[in-house]
Structure 1
Protein backbone atom coordinates (compact mmCIF):
# COMPACT_ATOMS: atom_id res chain seq x y z
CA UNK A 1 0.00 0.00 0.00
CA UNK A 2 1.46 3.36 -1.03
CA UNK A 3 1.52 6.48 1.16
CA UNK A 4 -1.15 8.24 -0.95
CA UNK A 5 -3.36 5.16 -0.60
CA UNK A 6 -2.96 5.32 3.18
CA UNK A 7 -3.97 9.00 3.13
CA UNK A 8 -7.09 8.20 1.06
CA UNK A 9 -8.07 5.31 3.32
CA UNK A 10 -7.44 7.30 6.50
CA UNK A 11 -9.46 10.26 5.18
CA UNK A 12 -12.48 7.97 4.96
CA UNK A 13 -12.16 5.62 7.91
CA UNK A 14 -10.96 8.02 10.63
CA UNK A 15 -13.85 10.53 10.53
CA UNK A 16 -16.39 7.69 10.29
CA UNK A 17 -14.95 6.04 13.40
CA UNK A 18 -14.72 9.33 15.32
CA UNK A 19 -18.34 10.28 14.60
CA UNK A 20 -19.55 6.76 15.46
CA UNK A 21 -17.76 6.90 18.84
CA UNK A 22 -19.15 10.37 19.56
CA UNK A 23 -22.66 9.26 18.67
CA UNK A 24 -22.36 6.32 21.06
CA UNK A 25 -21.00 8.45 23.90
CA UNK A 26 -23.69 11.12 23.41
CA UNK A 27 -26.39 8.46 23.28
CA UNK A 28 -25.11 6.81 26.48
CA UNK A 29 -25.09 10.23 28.09
CA UNK A 30 -28.73 10.76 27.13
CA UNK A 31 -28.00 13.72 24.84
CA UNK A 32 -29.10 12.20 21.51
CA UNK A 33 -31.61 9.58 20.41
CA UNK A 34 -30.62 6.24 18.90
CA UNK A 35 -31.99 6.43 15.35
CA UNK A 36 -31.08 6.53 11.66
CA UNK A 37 -30.22 10.20 10.98
CA UNK A 38 -29.76 9.57 7.25
CA UNK A 39 -33.50 8.98 6.88
CA UNK A 40 -35.19 10.73 9.79
CA UNK A 41 -32.76 13.58 10.43
CA UNK A 42 -33.32 12.97 14.12
CA UNK A 43 -29.85 14.20 15.11
CA UNK A 44 -27.18 16.37 13.52
CA UNK A 45 -23.53 15.35 13.30
CA UNK A 46 -22.78 18.45 15.34
CA UNK A 47 -25.08 17.23 18.13
CA UNK A 48 -22.85 14.20 18.69
CA UNK A 49 -19.92 16.42 19.64
CA UNK A 50 -21.47 19.08 21.85
CA UNK A 51 -21.46 17.42 25.26
CA UNK A 52 -18.46 16.05 27.12
CA UNK A 53 -16.80 13.56 27.01
CA UNK A 54 -17.89 13.15 23.37
CA UNK A 55 -16.78 16.73 22.65
CA UNK A 56 -13.17 15.77 23.43
CA UNK A 57 -13.30 12.88 20.97
CA UNK A 58 -15.07 15.01 18.37
CA UNK A 59 -12.08 17.31 18.23
CA UNK A 60 -10.18 14.40 16.77
CA UNK A 61 -11.82 15.40 13.49
CA UNK A 62 -9.15 18.08 13.27
CA UNK A 63 -6.77 15.25 12.33
CA UNK A 64 -9.24 14.18 9.63
CA UNK A 65 -9.34 17.70 8.21
CA UNK A 66 -5.55 17.73 8.08
CA UNK A 67 -5.69 14.44 6.18
CA UNK A 68 -8.12 16.04 3.71
CA UNK A 69 -5.51 18.70 3.05
CA UNK A 70 -2.89 15.99 2.56
CA UNK A 71 -5.24 14.22 0.16
CA UNK A 72 -5.39 17.30 -2.04
CA UNK A 73 -1.62 17.64 -1.89
CA UNK A 74 -1.32 14.04 -3.09
CA UNK A 75 -3.87 14.75 -5.83
CA UNK A 76 -1.84 17.72 -7.07
CA UNK A 77 1.40 15.75 -7.03
CA UNK A 78 -0.30 12.86 -8.84
CA UNK A 79 -1.67 15.05 -11.63
CA UNK A 80 1.70 16.75 -12.01
CA UNK A 81 3.59 13.45 -12.15
CA UNK A 82 1.53 12.28 -15.11
CA UNK A 83 2.80 14.91 -17.53
CA UNK A 84 6.08 15.73 -15.83
CA UNK A 85 5.42 19.46 -16.01
CA UNK A 86 4.00 22.14 -13.68
CA UNK A 87 0.29 22.07 -13.03
CA UNK A 88 -1.94 24.34 -15.04
CA UNK A 89 -2.74 27.51 -13.08
CA UNK A 90 -6.41 26.61 -12.54
CA UNK A 91 -5.49 23.11 -11.33
CA UNK A 92 -2.88 24.49 -8.96
CA UNK A 93 -5.40 27.02 -7.62
CA UNK A 94 -7.96 24.24 -7.22
CA UNK A 95 -5.57 22.26 -5.03
CA UNK A 96 -4.62 25.29 -2.94
CA UNK A 97 -8.23 26.38 -2.44
CA UNK A 98 -9.31 22.83 -1.52
CA UNK A 99 -6.48 22.57 1.00
CA UNK A 100 -7.46 25.95 2.45
CA UNK A 101 -11.04 24.71 2.89
CA UNK A 102 -9.75 22.38 5.60
CA UNK A 103 -8.91 25.49 7.65
CA UNK A 104 -12.57 26.48 7.51
CA UNK A 105 -13.55 23.03 8.76
CA UNK A 106 -11.12 23.33 11.67
CA UNK A 107 -12.52 26.76 12.53
CA UNK A 108 -16.05 25.36 12.42
CA UNK A 109 -15.04 22.59 14.80
CA UNK A 110 -13.07 24.79 17.19
CA UNK A 111 -16.14 26.59 18.58
CA UNK A 112 -18.11 23.42 19.38
CA UNK A 113 -18.69 22.36 22.97
CA UNK A 114 -21.03 22.83 25.89
CA UNK A 115 -20.19 26.54 25.69
CA UNK A 116 -22.74 26.66 22.83
CA UNK A 117 -25.61 25.47 25.04
CA UNK A 118 -28.33 26.69 25.17
CA UNK A 119 -28.46 27.46 21.45
CA UNK A 120 -30.73 30.49 21.80
CA UNK A 121 -28.13 32.30 23.88
CA UNK A 122 -25.21 31.61 21.58
CA UNK A 123 -26.56 32.41 18.13
CA UNK A 124 -23.34 34.06 16.98
CA UNK A 125 -21.28 30.94 17.69
CA UNK A 126 -23.81 28.74 15.93
CA UNK A 127 -23.95 31.12 12.98
CA UNK A 128 -20.15 31.04 12.71
CA UNK A 129 -20.20 27.24 12.85
CA UNK A 130 -22.88 26.92 10.16
CA UNK A 131 -21.22 29.44 7.80
CA UNK A 132 -17.73 27.93 8.03
CA UNK A 133 -19.03 24.36 7.72
CA UNK A 134 -21.20 25.28 4.71
CA UNK A 135 -18.29 27.02 3.00
CA UNK A 136 -16.12 23.96 3.57
CA UNK A 137 -18.65 21.67 1.88
CA UNK A 138 -19.32 24.15 -0.93
CA UNK A 139 -15.65 24.67 -1.76
CA UNK A 140 -14.82 20.98 -1.40
CA UNK A 141 -17.65 19.83 -3.67
CA UNK A 142 -16.72 22.41 -6.33
CA UNK A 143 -13.07 21.34 -6.20
CA UNK A 144 -14.04 17.67 -6.35
CA UNK A 145 -16.01 18.32 -9.55
CA UNK A 146 -13.02 20.14 -11.07
CA UNK A 147 -10.76 17.29 -9.99
CA UNK A 148 -12.98 14.78 -11.78
CA UNK A 149 -13.01 17.00 -14.88
CA UNK A 150 -9.21 17.17 -14.95
CA UNK A 151 -8.96 13.42 -14.45
CA UNK A 152 -11.26 12.92 -17.41
CA UNK A 153 -8.95 15.09 -19.52
CA UNK A 154 -5.93 12.97 -18.52
CA UNK A 155 -7.60 9.55 -18.28
CA UNK A 156 -5.34 8.06 -20.97
CA UNK A 157 -2.17 9.15 -19.18
CA UNK A 158 -3.55 8.33 -15.74
CA UNK A 159 -4.55 4.83 -16.84
CA UNK A 160 -7.55 4.64 -14.52
CA UNK A 161 -10.98 3.12 -14.92
CA UNK A 162 -13.90 5.17 -16.25
CA UNK A 163 -16.01 4.18 -13.23
CA UNK A 164 -13.63 6.07 -10.95
CA UNK A 165 -14.14 9.29 -12.88
CA UNK A 166 -17.90 8.82 -13.20
CA UNK A 167 -18.21 8.13 -9.48
CA UNK A 168 -16.24 11.27 -8.62
CA UNK A 169 -18.37 13.40 -10.93
CA UNK A 170 -21.57 11.95 -9.46
CA UNK A 171 -20.42 12.51 -5.87
CA UNK A 172 -19.36 16.10 -6.57
CA UNK A 173 -22.54 17.00 -8.48
CA UNK A 174 -24.82 15.44 -5.84
CA UNK A 175 -23.08 17.45 -3.12
CA UNK A 176 -23.41 20.67 -5.11
CA UNK A 177 -27.12 20.04 -5.80
CA UNK A 178 -27.73 19.31 -2.13
CA UNK A 179 -25.96 22.50 -1.08
CA UNK A 180 -27.93 24.63 -3.56
CA UNK A 181 -31.17 22.99 -2.40
CA UNK A 182 -30.20 23.56 1.23
CA UNK A 183 -29.56 27.28 0.62
CA UNK A 184 -32.79 27.62 -1.37
CA UNK A 185 -34.82 25.94 1.37
CA UNK A 186 -33.43 28.36 3.96
CA UNK A 187 -33.90 31.45 1.77
CA UNK A 188 -37.48 30.54 0.90
CA UNK A 189 -38.34 29.68 4.48
CA UNK A 190 -39.29 26.11 3.63
CA UNK A 191 -37.37 24.54 6.49
CA UNK A 192 -38.84 21.36 7.91
CA UNK A 193 -37.83 19.33 10.94
CA UNK A 194 -34.84 17.10 10.24
CA UNK A 195 -34.07 18.42 6.75
CA UNK A 196 -30.84 20.20 7.71
CA UNK A 197 -29.66 17.15 9.64
CA UNK A 198 -30.31 14.80 6.71
CA UNK A 199 -28.38 17.10 4.38
CA UNK A 200 -25.48 17.26 6.84
CA UNK A 201 -25.13 13.48 7.17
CA UNK A 202 -25.32 12.78 3.45
CA UNK A 203 -22.93 15.61 2.50
CA UNK A 204 -20.33 14.38 4.97
CA UNK A 205 -20.70 10.82 3.68
CA UNK A 206 -20.40 11.72 -0.01
CA UNK A 207 -17.39 13.91 0.73
CA UNK A 208 -15.63 11.07 2.57
CA UNK A 209 -16.42 8.54 -0.18
CA UNK A 210 -14.86 10.86 -2.75
CA UNK A 211 -11.62 10.87 -0.77
CA UNK A 212 -11.78 7.09 -0.51
CA UNK A 213 -11.82 6.68 -4.32
CA UNK A 214 -8.22 7.85 -4.37
CA UNK A 215 -7.28 4.51 -2.79
CA UNK A 216 -7.86 2.70 -6.11
CA UNK A 217 -6.47 5.51 -8.27
CA UNK A 218 -3.17 5.69 -6.43
CA UNK A 219 -2.18 2.03 -6.23
CA UNK A 220 0.86 2.71 -8.44
CA UNK A 221 1.51 6.31 -7.36
CA UNK A 222 4.54 6.94 -5.16
CA UNK A 223 4.79 10.25 -3.36
CA UNK A 224 8.07 10.19 -1.43
CA UNK A 225 11.57 9.54 -2.70
CA UNK A 226 11.82 6.50 -0.43
CA UNK A 227 8.69 4.99 -1.95
CA UNK A 228 9.96 5.68 -5.46
CA UNK A 229 13.34 4.13 -4.67
CA UNK A 230 11.71 1.02 -3.21
CA UNK A 231 9.46 0.71 -6.26
CA UNK A 232 12.44 1.00 -8.59
CA UNK A 233 14.37 -1.64 -6.64
CA UNK A 234 11.37 -3.95 -6.76
CA UNK A 235 11.05 -3.40 -10.50
CA UNK A 236 14.75 -4.15 -11.06
CA UNK A 237 14.43 -7.29 -8.94
CA UNK A 238 11.47 -8.52 -10.99
CA UNK A 239 13.30 -7.79 -14.25
CA UNK A 240 16.36 -9.69 -13.03
CA UNK A 241 14.26 -12.69 -12.03
CA UNK A 242 12.49 -12.64 -15.41
CA UNK A 243 15.77 -12.52 -17.30
CA UNK A 244 17.10 -15.37 -15.15
CA UNK A 245 14.10 -17.51 -16.07
CA UNK A 246 14.57 -16.75 -19.76
CA UNK A 247 18.25 -17.69 -19.69
Structure 2
Protein backbone atom coordinates (compact mmCIF):
# COMPACT_ATOMS: atom_id res chain seq x y z
CA UNK A 1 0.00 0.00 0.00
CA UNK A 2 1.40 3.40 -0.94
CA UNK A 3 1.35 6.46 1.29
CA UNK A 4 -1.31 7.98 -0.94
CA UNK A 5 -3.56 4.92 -0.57
CA UNK A 6 -3.10 4.54 3.20
CA UNK A 7 -6.07 5.56 5.35
CA UNK A 8 -5.76 9.00 6.90
CA UNK A 9 -6.54 9.58 10.58
CA UNK A 10 -7.54 13.04 11.86
CA UNK A 11 -5.24 14.52 14.49
CA UNK A 12 -7.59 16.93 16.22
CA UNK A 13 -8.81 14.43 18.89
CA UNK A 14 -5.29 14.23 20.36
CA UNK A 15 -4.89 17.85 21.57
CA UNK A 16 -8.56 17.86 22.62
CA UNK A 17 -7.88 14.77 24.73
CA UNK A 18 -5.03 16.65 26.46
CA UNK A 19 -7.51 19.31 27.58
CA UNK A 20 -10.13 16.81 28.72
CA UNK A 21 -7.71 14.54 30.60
CA UNK A 22 -6.09 17.38 32.53
CA UNK A 23 -9.36 19.13 33.39
CA UNK A 24 -11.02 15.91 34.56
CA UNK A 25 -7.91 14.82 36.47
CA UNK A 26 -7.52 18.07 38.41
CA UNK A 27 -11.19 18.58 39.28
CA UNK A 28 -12.09 14.95 39.98
CA UNK A 29 -9.01 14.53 42.17
CA UNK A 30 -9.94 17.70 44.06
CA UNK A 31 -13.45 16.37 44.70
CA UNK A 32 -12.00 13.08 45.99
CA UNK A 33 -9.65 15.01 48.30
CA UNK A 34 -12.60 17.03 49.64
CA UNK A 35 -14.57 13.82 50.20
CA UNK A 36 -11.60 12.33 52.06
CA UNK A 37 -11.35 15.38 54.31
CA UNK A 38 -7.86 16.28 53.10
CA UNK A 39 -8.59 19.78 51.77
CA UNK A 40 -11.27 22.47 52.25
CA UNK A 41 -14.10 22.85 49.77
CA UNK A 42 -14.32 26.05 47.76
CA UNK A 43 -14.35 27.41 44.21
CA UNK A 44 -10.57 27.59 43.73
CA UNK A 45 -10.82 29.88 40.70
CA UNK A 46 -12.40 32.51 42.95
CA UNK A 47 -11.49 31.66 46.55
CA UNK A 48 -8.01 30.18 46.12
CA UNK A 49 -8.38 28.04 49.23
CA UNK A 50 -6.10 25.36 47.83
CA UNK A 51 -3.42 25.02 45.14
CA UNK A 52 -3.64 22.43 42.38
CA UNK A 53 -0.75 20.50 43.91
CA UNK A 54 -2.37 20.32 47.33
CA UNK A 55 -5.79 19.52 45.85
CA UNK A 56 -4.53 16.42 44.03
CA UNK A 57 -1.79 15.03 46.25
CA UNK A 58 -3.80 12.98 48.76
CA UNK A 59 -5.35 9.53 48.78
CA UNK A 60 -7.45 8.35 45.87
CA UNK A 61 -7.33 11.80 44.33
CA UNK A 62 -3.58 11.48 43.94
CA UNK A 63 -3.89 8.04 42.32
CA UNK A 64 -6.52 9.29 39.88
CA UNK A 65 -4.46 12.36 39.01
CA UNK A 66 -1.38 10.29 38.24
CA UNK A 67 -3.42 7.73 36.29
CA UNK A 68 -4.75 10.43 33.96
CA UNK A 69 -1.93 13.00 33.83
CA UNK A 70 1.01 10.72 33.06
CA UNK A 71 -0.68 9.49 29.82
CA UNK A 72 -1.59 13.14 29.23
CA UNK A 73 2.12 13.98 29.32
CA UNK A 74 2.78 11.33 26.67
CA UNK A 75 0.06 12.91 24.54
CA UNK A 76 1.78 16.29 24.95
CA UNK A 77 5.01 14.92 23.48
CA UNK A 78 3.15 13.17 20.65
CA UNK A 79 1.22 16.32 19.71
CA UNK A 80 4.42 18.39 19.54
CA UNK A 81 6.09 15.77 17.32
CA UNK A 82 3.06 15.72 15.04
CA UNK A 83 2.99 19.53 15.01
CA UNK A 84 6.58 19.63 13.75
CA UNK A 85 5.71 17.15 10.99
CA UNK A 86 2.61 19.14 10.10
CA UNK A 87 4.48 22.46 9.93
CA UNK A 88 7.48 20.84 8.20
CA UNK A 89 9.91 22.32 10.66
CA UNK A 90 10.29 23.79 14.12
CA UNK A 91 12.88 21.72 15.97
CA UNK A 92 13.14 24.27 18.77
CA UNK A 93 9.38 24.08 19.20
CA UNK A 94 9.57 20.28 19.41
CA UNK A 95 12.39 20.35 21.99
CA UNK A 96 10.53 22.85 24.18
CA UNK A 97 7.29 20.90 23.89
CA UNK A 98 8.88 17.55 24.71
CA UNK A 99 10.78 18.99 27.70
CA UNK A 100 7.50 20.46 28.92
CA UNK A 101 5.86 17.03 28.58
CA UNK A 102 8.68 15.34 30.50
CA UNK A 103 8.37 17.95 33.25
CA UNK A 104 4.63 17.27 33.54
CA UNK A 105 5.33 13.54 33.89
CA UNK A 106 7.96 14.23 36.56
CA UNK A 107 5.55 16.50 38.44
CA UNK A 108 2.73 13.93 38.41
CA UNK A 109 5.05 11.06 39.34
CA UNK A 110 6.49 12.70 42.46
CA UNK A 111 3.33 14.44 43.61
CA UNK A 112 2.41 13.24 47.09
CA UNK A 113 5.91 11.96 47.94
CA UNK A 114 7.63 13.72 50.82
CA UNK A 115 11.27 14.81 51.05
CA UNK A 116 13.33 17.79 49.94
CA UNK A 117 14.52 16.09 46.74
CA UNK A 118 10.94 15.26 45.77
CA UNK A 119 9.78 18.79 46.53
CA UNK A 120 12.53 20.10 44.26
CA UNK A 121 11.42 17.76 41.45
CA UNK A 122 7.81 18.90 41.83
CA UNK A 123 8.81 22.57 41.71
CA UNK A 124 11.04 21.88 38.70
CA UNK A 125 8.19 20.07 37.01
CA UNK A 126 5.73 22.95 37.45
CA UNK A 127 8.14 25.67 36.31
CA UNK A 128 9.43 23.79 33.27
CA UNK A 129 5.99 22.54 32.24
CA UNK A 130 4.45 25.99 32.19
CA UNK A 131 7.54 27.88 31.00
CA UNK A 132 8.69 25.61 28.19
CA UNK A 133 5.13 24.73 27.23
CA UNK A 134 4.29 28.42 26.87
CA UNK A 135 7.34 29.03 24.68
CA UNK A 136 6.49 26.01 22.50
CA UNK A 137 2.96 27.37 22.05
CA UNK A 138 4.33 30.75 20.98
CA UNK A 139 6.66 29.04 18.49
CA UNK A 140 3.79 27.06 16.96
CA UNK A 141 1.61 30.15 16.68
CA UNK A 142 4.36 32.10 14.94
CA UNK A 143 5.14 29.35 12.43
CA UNK A 144 1.47 28.57 11.77
CA UNK A 145 0.76 32.27 11.22
CA UNK A 146 3.67 32.74 8.81
CA UNK A 147 2.78 29.65 6.78
CA UNK A 148 -1.01 30.22 6.97
CA UNK A 149 -1.32 26.70 8.33
CA UNK A 150 -4.13 27.77 10.68
CA UNK A 151 -7.05 30.10 10.13
CA UNK A 152 -6.46 33.66 11.32
CA UNK A 153 -9.31 33.37 13.83
CA UNK A 154 -7.74 30.29 15.42
CA UNK A 155 -4.35 32.00 15.75
CA UNK A 156 -6.11 35.04 17.25
CA UNK A 157 -7.83 32.85 19.86
CA UNK A 158 -4.51 31.23 20.74
CA UNK A 159 -2.94 34.68 21.03
CA UNK A 160 -5.59 35.90 23.46
CA UNK A 161 -5.02 32.83 25.62
CA UNK A 162 -1.27 33.49 25.57
CA UNK A 163 -1.81 37.15 26.52
CA UNK A 164 -4.06 36.07 29.39
CA UNK A 165 -1.39 33.64 30.65
CA UNK A 166 1.25 36.36 30.46
CA UNK A 167 -1.07 38.70 32.36
CA UNK A 168 -1.54 36.12 35.11
CA UNK A 169 2.20 35.73 35.41
CA UNK A 170 2.69 39.48 35.75
CA UNK A 171 -0.18 39.71 38.24
CA UNK A 172 1.39 36.95 40.32
CA UNK A 173 4.66 38.89 40.52
CA UNK A 174 2.82 42.09 41.46
CA UNK A 175 0.87 40.34 44.22
CA UNK A 176 4.11 38.93 45.58
CA UNK A 177 5.49 42.46 45.83
CA UNK A 178 2.50 44.37 47.19
CA UNK A 179 0.65 41.86 49.40
CA UNK A 180 2.28 41.35 52.78
CA UNK A 181 -0.12 38.96 54.50
CA UNK A 182 1.06 35.39 53.78
CA UNK A 183 -2.45 33.87 53.73
CA UNK A 184 -3.76 36.48 51.29
CA UNK A 185 -0.69 36.05 49.09
CA UNK A 186 -1.19 32.26 49.04
CA UNK A 187 -4.83 32.64 48.05
CA UNK A 188 -4.01 34.94 45.16
CA UNK A 189 -1.24 32.62 43.97
CA UNK A 190 -3.64 29.67 44.11
CA UNK A 191 -6.25 31.55 42.07
CA UNK A 192 -3.66 32.44 39.47
CA UNK A 193 -2.39 28.84 39.36
CA UNK A 194 -5.84 27.35 38.67
CA UNK A 195 -6.57 29.85 35.91
CA UNK A 196 -3.10 29.41 34.40
CA UNK A 197 -3.52 25.65 34.31
CA UNK A 198 -6.94 25.96 32.69
CA UNK A 199 -5.65 28.37 30.04
CA UNK A 200 -2.56 26.27 29.34
CA UNK A 201 -4.56 23.13 28.52
CA UNK A 202 -7.41 25.14 26.97
CA UNK A 203 -4.93 26.28 24.32
CA UNK A 204 -4.75 22.68 23.11
CA UNK A 205 -8.53 22.65 22.62
CA UNK A 206 -8.13 25.63 20.29
CA UNK A 207 -5.38 23.78 18.42
CA UNK A 208 -7.77 20.84 18.08
CA UNK A 209 -10.36 23.18 16.58
CA UNK A 210 -7.79 24.53 14.13
CA UNK A 211 -6.68 21.06 13.07
CA UNK A 212 -10.28 19.96 12.63
CA UNK A 213 -11.11 22.96 10.44
CA UNK A 214 -8.07 22.33 8.24
CA UNK A 215 -8.66 18.54 8.17
CA UNK A 216 -5.13 17.85 9.44
CA UNK A 217 -4.56 14.09 9.32
CA UNK A 218 -1.81 11.50 9.21
CA UNK A 219 -1.53 8.49 6.92
CA UNK A 220 -0.38 5.31 8.64
CA UNK A 221 1.34 3.04 6.15
CA UNK A 222 1.96 -0.64 6.80
CA UNK A 223 4.19 -2.86 4.68
CA UNK A 224 2.70 -6.08 3.38
Question: What TM-score do the two structures reach when normalised by structure 1?
Answer: 0.76
Shift of 1:123: 4.8
Q: Distance in 1 between matches of 2:179 and 2:152?
A: 40
Shift of 1:166: 0.7
Partner of 2:219: 224
Q: Distance in 2 between matches of 1:135 and 1:177?
A: 18
1:28-56 deviation digits (Å, cap 9, x = unpaired): 10112221101111111111222112111
Say if 1:68 and 1:102, in contact at 8 Å, map to a contact too: yes
The runs of 5 or more residues in structure 2 that have no matched partner are 1-7
Shift of 1:132: 2.3
Say if 1:138 and 1:179, in contact at 8 Å, map to a contact too: no
Say if 2:96 and 2:135, in contact at 8 Å, map to a contact too: no
Alignment of 1:230-245 (within 5 A): none
Q: How many residues align?
A: 209
Partner of 2:79: 71
Which secondary structure does the structure 1 equivalent of 2:95 belong to? helix
Q: Distance in 2 between matches of 1:169 and 1:43?
A: 29
2:21 is equivalent to residue 14 of structure 1: yes
Partner of 1:232: none
Choose the corresponding residue for 1:139, options 132, 137, 150. Answer: 132
Q: Distance in 2 between matches of 1:38 and 1:146?
A: 28
Shift of 1:187: 7.1
Partner of 1:62: 70
Higher RCO (C-alpha 8 Å, min separation 6): 2
Which secondary structure does the structure 1 equivalent of 2:218 belong to? coil
CA separation of 1:128 and 1:59: change in aligned 2, threshold 3 A: same
Which secondary structure does the structure 2 equivalent of 1:39 belong to? coil
Shift of 1:224: 2.8
1:192-215 deviation digits (Å, cap 9, x = unpaired): 131221121111111111111122
CA separation of 1:107 and 1:71: change in aligned 2, threshold 3 A: same
Partner of 1:182: 172
Shift of 1:177: 3.6
Shift of 1:112: 1.3
Partner of 2:42: 35
Larger Rg: 1
CA separation of 1:183 and 1:134: change in aligned 2, threshold 3 A: farther
Say if 1:141 and 1:173, in contact at 8 Å, map to a contact too: no
Question: Which structure carries more helix by proportion?
Answer: 1
